[in-house]
Structure 1
């Protein structure tokens, strides 16, 4: 919405309505008749008392910086028709809900809301500060982070190349040779992938090492898994 103190258009107000019925009901309350004590300030607050079916009028207040709404009516719609009517009154007539002092009942809600918003901003700022510092409070060096990322990429690429060579040797020697080499060779290859900072590839290699002892048809399963690892490796 607009900056604090800038009146909205009726179209902006109606866009907040939860449904068409609320728009219609809000329009009916967009006149000065049912309202008393309506006012606004330069910080985005709009308030007013709306006559209802009971003895006491409904206390309605809006913080347009949110926007956020509060009304003493029992409606479960948000914003309710009273909040919409008040905003439409404020938006449609520059003399309606003119600048004034915030009444106590509206000020209590506004103060509580703004205090919570301020605490939230402080919490978010603290989290950003903690996340953006390292090494005794020094700001993280983007260039150093980039160099670390490049070195990790180089190690992963080297590990992937080594794994491709291992798969090529396996296929050249025949899948039957996988049953003779034992699990130790696969574990060694997996350890090399861990050293290369490629834990995903290491896990797949360990799965390959377990296939030769998995029972009849293991040759087919091994070939299928080798093809998948090759695809992952290439990617």
Structure 2
């Protein structure tokens, strides 16, 4: 059975708009004195900066980090693209380009390189694909009272020791549902990255919980 190819109106519209914007940027660059392959490189540079800034903006929003820098470079790339499209509508004489436009076109590569470098190498507070751990209140154990030795009994009162029942096993550590759900996401991300199941020590380091709770979570994830 052959796969059917469906035309998506949104995709077709995006291709047409991208091609027109690409051509307008090329015309502006060529009119500003950038001939040959350089005129074709300008549209690629503008569109790549626009896409990189938008992708960085989405990652920062997901991670809950400040998005001012990403918004700045997205605006710069958008203004460059819109400006080139508007300029080709007859507002400028492409046969006699003003000096300020030649300066902007000539300085664009350095500006785009700076923006792309800052977008790639600006660290975030935490990885975007790892959600923040929910706040879980953990009850602190109260300090045990000091053990006092019993007073010795008289010799005649000492009887044979009675067998005491075996101590009951310690109660299982209760894992809150939000913490367990977050641990499942962390374990899935760890497995997709390393190919191995996450262990109790890694869970304790990722979630910041005590060892007993980390082992209880690991036993429920097994």
Q: Shorter chain as normaliser: what TM range?
A: under 0.3
Taking structure 2 as the reference length, the TM-score comes to 0.25
Identify which of structures 1 and 2 has the higher relative contact order when contacts are C-alpha pairs closer than 8 Å and 6+ apart: 2
Taking structure 1 as the reference length, the TM-score comes to 0.24
> Between Structure 1 and Structure 2, which shows a larger proportion of strand residues?
1
> Between Structure 1 and Structure 2, which shows a larger proportion of helix residues?
2
